[in-house]
Amino acid sequence: MIASPLWRNRDYMLLWGGQVVSTLGSSALSVVYPLLILALTDSAAAAGVAGGLRALPYLLFSLPVGALIDRWDRKRVMILCDCGRALAALSIPVALWLDALTIGQIYVVAFVEGSLFVFFNIAEVAAMPRLVPTRQLPQAAAQNEAAFGAAHIVGPSLGTLVYQTLGRSAAFLFDAFSYVVSAVSLLLIRTEFRAARAEAPRDLRREIREGLRWLWGKPLIRYMAFLTGGMNLVGAATPLIVIVLAKELGASDIDIGVIFSIGGIGGIAGSLIGGQIQKRFSFGQVVIAVSWALALLFPLYALAPGFAVLGLVYALIYMTGPIYNVVQFSYRLALIPDALQGRVNSTFRLLAFGFIPLGAAASGLLLERIGVMATIGVFAALYLALAVMTTFNAHVRGARPLEDIAADRNAT
């Protein structure tokens, strides 16, 4: 039986549309946050700490959240998280209007937003197989990446533009509005976000162990979690490196927004070809190729003669992200049983996202201590090590085709 096109899948399109708007708001703040902190403190380390605090909740909460998401109403969790993130974003303009904004408040807001994102993200990933048939998961992942890539083109330039022209609070107001749009889109979705009502609450630690045991028993998924974590560590360090390097090259705040928008163009290009690459090449071929592309491209930051070339390098690196995500995300979701989606994905994301605080904080400290060129060298060496390990990993090279996994799942 041939599945209907994704654009005719009403509930998926509602989720997709809400997340596009929400991502646009978040991407607008991705550049405004460090610019605001640098304006307040003139400290790259302080900007790095804020990025680390935003990602720290994955280390603290992801395992219990995964178990709870498998018990709770996933849609309700996502709506409450959107409302909470809207209020957190609104607190920044209020403090600016009262001339009372401090770096401490920014840190608290970053941590609160990061904590709510953990709940939202794990619930969203767990719900995706309920909205999209297994065979269409790569297509859905590619469509998500394309839309989010478009948001990342518009968002940074929009954020820096309103930051300079409409005031520091404007981007935060738009971010809050984007969360409201996301919440409304969720309210309109009819599909249940889980297969059946959860059983009566059991021992939380036992449920967490079930998720850990399942992932640890799958060597490929376990390695992919660590590989994604290493990539995310460098990815979390990159924006601040690019901002500091661009400023050294004489770029203005608006120029910096353009650099990140150029990167978004690379993201769209990667998303457009990601689905085709997934069909034409094996899982192992794609993952190994992406690992080496990152290892070879990242050192080029140090050679960029101006901010335009810096944007081009950023775009080429950004292009690899959607290709990698389409392959590993759809592959992982196809393997995990519905009853374990929350717990296993939370375990995966603990490993994959748990390194982000380290990368964000380390970038600020290294930039202040050893300078931008040496910092680029440190993270380039990490990418090279990941590429070598991935090339020699037998589980990556011998991964089964997604079609075989889908056939096995349909048979059961």
- pLDDT of 1 reads 44
Can you tell me the distance from the alpha carbon of 406 to that of 402, in angstroms, rounded to the nearest whole number?
6
Can you tell me the distance from the alpha carbon of 88 to that of 111, in angstroms, rounded to the nearest whole number?
10
Contacts of residue 14, defined as CB under 8 A and 6 or more positions apart, other chains included, come to 185, 186, 188, 189
Can you tell me the distance from the alpha carbon of 33 to that of 168, in angstroms, rounded to the nearest whole number?
10
CB atoms within 10 A of CB 86: 21
The pLDDT tens digits for 30-83 are 778 888 888 888 887 787 777 778 778 877 887 788 778 878 888 999 999 999
- Buried b / exposed e over 338-357, threshold 16 CB at 10 Å, is ebbbbbbbbbbbbbbbbbbb
By the 10 Å C-beta count (0-12 exposed, 13-18 middle, 19+ buried), 74 is classed as: buried
The pLDDT tens digits for 247-278 are 888 888 778 878 887 877 887 788 778 777 87
Q: Quick one: tokens of 280?
A: 């034409």
- pLDDT of 78 reads 93
Q: Is the pLDDT of residue 19 over 60?
A: yes
The pLDDT tens digits for 337-361 are 777 777 787 788 778 877 888 888 8
Can you tell me the distance from the alpha carbon of 73 to that of 257, in angstroms, rounded to the nearest whole number?
38
Q: Is the pLDDT of residue 212 over 90?
A: no
CA angle in degrees (0–180, nearest 5) for 254-255-257: 65
Q: Quick one: tokens of 56?
A: 């720290």
- pLDDT of 405 reads 63
The mean per-residue pLDDT over the stretch 17-30 comes to 84
- pLDDT of 3 reads 58
Can you tell me the distance from the alpha carbon of 184 to that of 18, in angstroms, rounded to the nearest whole number?
8
Domains and CATH numbers, the chain: 6-194+204-411 (1.20.1250.20)
Average of per-residue pLDDT values in the chain: 84
In which band, very low, low, confident or very high, does the pLDDT at 404 lie, cut at 50, 70 and 90? low
The mean per-residue pLDDT over the stretch 383-399 comes to 94
The mean per-residue pLDDT over the stretch 110-114 comes to 89
First to last CA, the chain: 16
- pLDDT of 109 reads 92
Amino acid at 390: T
Q: Quick one: tokens of 30?
A: 């991705």
C-alpha distances in Å from residue 99, one per residue of 37, 82, 94? 15, 26, 9
The pLDDT tens digits for 161-187 are 788 778 788 889 988 999 999 999 999
Q: Picking from 81-90, 127-136, 291-300, which range would have the lowest pLDDT averaged per residue?
A: 127-136
